[in-house]
Structure 1
Amino acid sequence: MKIFIPGGAGLVGLNLIARLQDDHPNWHLIVVDKKREAVAIAQNLFPKVTFLEEDLCCLEGQDWPLQLQGCSACVMLQAEIGNTDSSQFERNNVHSTLTVLEALKRHPIPRLIHISSSVVNSVATDLYTSTKRQQEELVRDARPDAVVLRPTLMFGWFDRKHLGWLARFMRKLPVFPIPGSGRFIRQPLYVGDFCALIERCLESPELHGSYDITGLEKVSYISLMRQLRQAVRARTWMIHLPIPLFGFLLQCWALISRQPAFTRSQLTALTAGDEFDVIDWPDIFQVTPTPLADALRITYQDPRYSQLEMPF
């Protein structure tokens, strides 16, 4: 099977590649991503995979549209999660999707699996949320037969943002700030389990529709951070900061970093109080979920990829 994976040099893409290389070594994977350093690392890790460092917003002068010929499936992963340049959300979440969908019209692919986000069901109104909603609508309008998966916050190997960045912070600094009480609920999803779902969608063409894929264990943010601290064997001291002060410090950080790991809009989303419904995805997709504690241990202690840090 030949599979096209736009935006595949990120958290989900690299974990999916690792899984498919183990389970289906004869599958031909085509990955397109414009993050140069991430693509270089991925090429060294997975030499049998075809990586193209190209722009998904462009059809002309690019090799990736030609690679669609003969593909059996597309796993659409490209997304802008955090950036101080607001135009990048429109470009990478909306424009790129329009371009990829146009390319899929020229080179029809039977199977499309779109990775959306739980934020489309959120009360948040930030640029990431609004453009992810637009992205999903574009996919559903163009390909009613597509599988749409909406995961909550994910963690796992190759995580340069989210828990991955927080783990680095814990290892390096003696204090770790917690916004407010830290008691807002999180439903983290282990990316290894999520990639098992994607694999099942590739193996089972009878699966169709939209699915909210939520972490099965509800945990407060402060409890999650304590478990993370234990998993990375850090000794950092946690301090609680008022949310307005925390937000102000994030704003200051954004002035000196073009792509901060955590933004004020993400803080608003974190503290919004969203709790997402849980469907029985283990039964629907016949996937055995990994307990949170075990997933954290695999992510940060397993010798295979746990010590690899992706560039931010």
Structure 2
Amino acid sequence: MLRDEIITVFGGSGFVGRHVVRALAREGYRVRVASRRPHIAQDLRVMGVVGQVQLVQANLRVPASVERALEGASGVVNLVGVLNENGRQTFTRLHAQGAKTVAEAAAAAGIERLVHISAIGADAESASRYARTKAEGEAAVRKALPGATVLRPSIVFGTDDGFFNRFGAMARFVPALPLFGGGKTRFQPVFAGDVAAAVVKALQSDTARGETFELGGPGVYTFEQLMRFILDEIDRPRLLLPLPWAAGQVIAMLSEMAAILPFVQPVITRDQLTQLKRDNVVADGAKTLADLGIEPETVDAIVPSYLVRYRRYGQFHERQPS
């Protein structure tokens, strides 16, 4: 049964956003997906019954479009973010200024329920521009709407993720995978479906208002352990090459130069390399998925189901003994 409430989701056409739209639709909410290019997200309509999911055009750099997207809404979710900058899509414009625009527009419209997606590692003093602007966005949201809920996920995994898929695809063509800084950085990957569930819980729970939750899965892994996991699942033996940070800087610079070409995505950027120098795990004492009543899925349970596409002889070929 459909609820009368409309939830506006900024960034709903992205990887995590699609999980959020699906989860909200299952709960019966009317979902308004605000996207820069709604014409390429028509498939989102089938995530609900006829008319339940609406697509509208909005750009966080255009406040008037944000205000229109919020008309009549009772809740808002802001998922907009980028891992690397491209043209006008910069960290400052999206993570900081965009978050401020959404929160101020929501406050002006009398919307009290806002869920803002940030990231573990958001820090105003960080050497990473990504992490600094994430922290600036959080501060702007808190100032405009103190009752907003902030969710900080670690790296997010799922069928179309940009982490396991990136390195799985890379391993098809290169003889070695790099371990920047020796591969000792720790991560706590979280399933996109669990992030979506956290969004729904945060919207529905009065006790979540004004709180910050750090979202991580049940396992903590080093970068090296994750690379070994990927190679084992796709059954492609590859050398794991430890590289000092200085060598990583050179690779990142060359990767950014290559990304100037159309349709070329950087393997890693210098800002991402800076982020790799710091563990990406849930902090001691932080509120977590457990505080929202969510038991997280494991990497082992989800990731192998989509890494099979990178196996040399396909999904049903018998894996070779190691």
- Counterpart of 1:14? 18
Cα separation, partners in 2 of 1:194 and 1:40, compared to 1, 3 Å: same
Instruction: Answer with 290-299 or 227-236: which moved more.
Output: 227-236
Q: Spell out the pairing of 1:20-169 with structure 2 (5 A cutoff).
A: 20-21=24-25, 23-24=26-27, 26-34=28-36, 36=37, 39-40=38-39, 42-47=41-46, 48=48, 49-60=53-64, 62=65, 64-83=66-85, 88-121=90-123, 124-159=126-161, 161-169=162-170
The alignment partner of 1:4 has SS state of strand
Structure 1 residues without counterparts, runs of 5 or longer: 308-312
Q: How far did residue 261 of structure 1 move?
A: 4.6
Task: Give deviations 1:11-46, integer Å, cap 9, x for gaps.
Answer: 22112123334x32x422112232x4xx55532254
- Counterpart of 1:267? 273
Task: Give deviations 1:160-188, integer Å, cap 9, x for gaps.
Answer: x3333223222444432222421222222
- Counterpart of 2:176? 175
**Match for 2:16: what amino acid?**
V
- Counterpart of 2:302? 295
Instruction: Work out which of the two has the higher radius of gyration on C-alpha atoms and give 1 or 2.
Output: 2
The count of corresponding residues between Structure 1 and Structure 2 is 295
- Counterpart of 2:258? 256
Higher RCO (CA < 8 A, seq sep 6+): 1
Task: Give deviations 1:76-106, integer Å, cap 9, x for gaps.
Answer: 1112321266981111112222322332234
Q: Does 1:2 align with 2:3?
A: no
Cα separation, partners in 2 of 1:90 and 1:244, compared to 1, 3 Å: same
Cα separation, partners in 2 of 1:87 and 1:110, compared to 1, 3 Å: closer
**Match for 1:65: what amino acid?**
E
CA distance in 1, matches of 2:221, 2:214: 18
**Match for 2:106: what amino acid?**
L
**Match for 1:185: what amino acid?**
R
Kindly indicate whether the alpha-carbon contact (under 8 Å) linking 2:121 and 2:280 is maintained by their aligned counterparts in 1.
Answer: no
Q: TM-score, normalised by structure 1?
A: 0.83
Cα separation, partners in 2 of 1:32 and 1:229, compared to 1, 3 Å: farther
Percent identity between the aligned chains?
A: 26
**Match for 1:294: what amino acid?**
A
Q: TM-score, normalised by structure 2?
A: 0.80
CA distance in 1, matches of 2:205, 2:216: 21
Q: How far did residue 121 of structure 1 move?
A: 4.6
**Match for 2:180: what amino acid?**
P
**Match for 1:43: what amino acid?**
Q
Q: For the aligned residues, what is the CA RMSD?
A: 2.8
CA distance in 1, matches of 2:110, 2:103: 10
Q: How far did residue 69 of structure 1 move?
A: 2.3
**Match for 2:296: what amino acid?**
P
Structure 2 residues without counterparts, runs of 5 or longer: 310-314, 316-322
Cα separation, partners in 2 of 1:253 and 1:96, compared to 1, 3 Å: same
